[in-house]
Structure 1
Amino acid sequence: MLKKYIKVTATFDCDGSLVPDYLFWDDNRRYKIDRITDVRYASSLKAGGCGIRYTCRILGKERYVFLEENKWFVEVKEC
């Protein structure tokens, strides 16, 4: 697995929490995050790196979205 840095739009909640709303892929396709089921500090065991891991439901599938320092990434399969 590799780390793929992506563009994310996010909102600061009224308690100061940063909540991702949309992911943008290379071709500018936009994916709405339907639900966030968990937020925790964790490592990406598959791609390396660590930060805040958001467990998200996107198009009916569960995906991890990581905030590492000031950059967002997801885990993708190698080509």
Structure 2
Amino acid sequence: MTERIDEDGRTRPMSVQWWDGTTYPIEKVVSVCRRSSKRVGGDGVCYAVVINGRETFLYHEDLRWFVEEKITDGHVC
């Protein structure tokens, strides 16, 4: 995870490095709010972001970041 922290202390995610080492730039931050992940658990600040033209949710909880993985039909990770 690459993030930028501005002079007011606000965090903006810039890119995500996936488990296989691939780095995906975050094209756009759509919204930021506090919420829980219904898929994987956890509670923190939720960033609705666009990666590869698709919207997904990125969470910042305490000192860790996590993203809800998208699984396509027939693909098992």
TM band (smaller chain): 0.7 to 0.9
Distance 2:18 2:43 in 1: 21
| Equivalent residue number for residue 38 of structure 1 | 31
| Equivalent residue number for residue 47 of structure 2 | 54
Distance 1:25 1:47 in 2: 16
* Coordinate RMSD, CA, aligned: 1.4
| Equivalent residue number for residue 11 of structure 2 | 18
| Equivalent of 2:63 in 59, 70, 76 | 70
Distance 1:41 1:29 in 2: 27
Greater RCO, 1 or 2 (C-alpha within 8 Å, sep 6+)? 1
Identity of aligned residues (%): 35
> How many residue pairs were aligned?
72
- Report which of the two has the higher share of strand: 1
Distance 1:32 1:22 in 2: 4
3-state DSSP of counterpart to 2:9:
coil
TM-score (norm 2): 0.84
| Greater Rg over alpha carbons, structure | 2
3-state DSSP of counterpart to 1:14:
coil
Task: Mark the runs of 5 or more structure 2 residues left unpaired by the alignment.
Answer: none
3-state DSSP of counterpart to 1:37:
strand
Distance 2:42 2:52 in 1: 25
Task: Mark the runs of 5 or more structure 1 residues left unpaired by the alignment.
Answer: 1-7
